[in-house]
A and B are shown apart, each in its own frame.
Chain A
Amino acid sequence: MLTRRIIPCLDVKGGRVVKGVAFLNHRDAGDPVALAAAYDAAGADELVFYDITASSDERAIMADVVERTAAQVFIPLTVGGGIRTTDDMYRMLRAGADKISINTAAVLNPQLIEDGAKRFGSQCIVLSIDARRVPPSEGTGANDAPPRWEVFTHTGANARATSLDAIEWARRGVALGAGELVINSMDADGTGSGYDLALLRAISDQVGVPVIASGGVGTPNHMLAGLVEGHADAVLAASIFHFGQYSVSDVKHYLAAQGVPVRQ
């Protein structure tokens, strides 16, 4: 049986791993290569390196981090942040990444999804979507209308609204060739109060590719909910692991005890 994946995400800035609360106030949580090896040993199913600054000179640092990690860690590695062209993708794949995560650049240029999928295969292209719940329209009394989520670009303090509907964008991304989706709830991110399950379920039930839940994890129970109620195929988390609140193996033991198939 295909197992559900637990994926630690390492936000990398200037060659170091950081993780902020709601993407802000970065705290240093260590060396990416050492952390990657530690997560591999602890049973992580994949790893994500997210380059949160991604100026062009820092991308060279990132390629070096990827290269050094890939020489030691033999599980799938995804790299995201600042990838704008298929040549950027190639550089990271060449350094040792297995998949490339794109977000803002895909919204600005959806062709990038198709070009990347054609050049490297859909299995290489992960579309990451930052979504925020649209408040119910005021004064219409339409409180029973289905919830909607809007796509934002430029993850972080300067996030920009796009007016794209998150479910529509997810479907389009898959049609263009995205092989997996990361769904990040901006409302939940950094709160530690759990994933936006309605958002996850709405997207997972409408696409034929794996969906990775992101944003809001505070406990292993939140991961269980993301997988069972949110219909996600994998869960991504950062701070909960980096600061030792729970280990990957704690989470796996918990999920296994609840009947979720995980890699032991």
Chain B
Amino acid sequence: MNTQLERPIAVIDYGAGNLRSVVRALTHVGAPLHVTSNAAEVLTAPAVVLPGVGATLDTMQSLERLGLIEAIRTSVRAGKPFLGICVGMQVLCEQSEEFGPHPCLGVVGGSVRRLPAGQKVPQIGWNQLHYTNASGAHPLFAGIPEQSDFYFVHSYYCDLTDTHMIATTTEYGLAFPSALLRENLAAVQFHPEKSGRWGLQLLANFVAWASSQSPSHGRYTLPEVSVEHPLPGDKSN
């Protein structure tokens, strides 16, 4: 690592079942971490990881209850290195069709859709990443060969409006975006924390990338989308 993070990476704790797996794997690669569900701590962290497993609706309700929605949007907008994992990638979209249409974070344009029928859903197991354009040269994928296997567990995927942000695709009934990259924003549909050596490599790469990022690397600009309407079942509105 060329530069050290001055303060630990915030790993957002909103009750996701795999939080500890993500923490263990990041710890294994030597990342300084702070697990938090506090919006102010997310806002002051130099980089943010949003783990996830389960459903987008549950996740959005938890993020809303904890007051983390704006903290996440602001962190991305501020140019902070950000890594979303699995549902932590899906909730970046504008909306999801899982358990009835509902708004998500609106950090990226697109919808969370169910994997097509014709094969077993959920997809459970190891599948390959195919780099798009020059994404294989991105620091997040340093040292990870084309077609490396990563571990997936999901029934839904991100149908992204801006196809230029697709970093890798994976085949499962269709070629879906298995990773996205844009300026300071990164997200993956697979579970790097359960993907053996390449998964650990990717996490180590994220930490190194986060440590070396400066504003000159560019800040991601959030799309103009409306996500202000309440979530179904939300009793606070």
Interface residues of A (CB under 8 A from B): 1-5, 40, 45, 70-72, 74-76, 93-94, 96, 98, 120-124, 179-180, 208-210, 233-234, 263-264
Contacts and interface: CB of A to CB of B under 8 A. Distances in A.
Interface residues of B, number: 33
A120 B95 CA distance: 23
Contacts of A210: 120, 124-125
Nearest to A4: B125
Nearest to A264: B149
Contacts, number: 79
Contact of A2 (B18, B24, B126, B193): B126
**Most chain B CB within a 10 A radius of its CB, from A70, A94, A98:** A98
Instruction: Tell me which of A121, A124, A264 has the highest count of chain B C-beta atoms within 10 A of its own C-beta.
Output: A121
A208 B125 contact: no
A67 to B, nearest CB: 10
Contact of B120 (A1, A124, A233, A264): A233
A96 B124 contact: no
B193 A74 contact: yes
Contacts of B200: 74
Interface in B184-232: 193-197, 199-200
Interface of B: 17-18, 20-21, 24-25, 28, 53-55, 119-128, 149, 151-153, 171-172, 193-197, 199-200
B123 A93 contact: no
Q: Is the interface of B mostly helix, strand, loop or mixed?
A: mixed
Contact of A208 (B17, B18, B120, B199): B120
Nearest to A45: B126
Nearest to A90: B17
Given A74-B196, A74-B200, A75-B194, A1 B53 contact: no
A64 B126 CA distance: 27
A70 B119 CA distance: 30
Contacts of B172: 2
A98 B125 contact: no
B17 A120 contact: yes
B87 to A, nearest CB: 10
A48 B109 CA distance: 39
Nearest to A71: B24
9 contacts: A2-B125, A71-B28, A96-B24, A120-B17, A179-B122, A209-B122, A210-B125, A233-B120, A233-B125
Contacts of A72: 28
Nearest to A70: B24
Given A72-B28, A96-B20, 10 more contacts: A2-B119, A3-B149, A74-B200, A75-B196, A122-B122, A123-B122, A124-B17, A209-B122, A233-B120, A263-B126
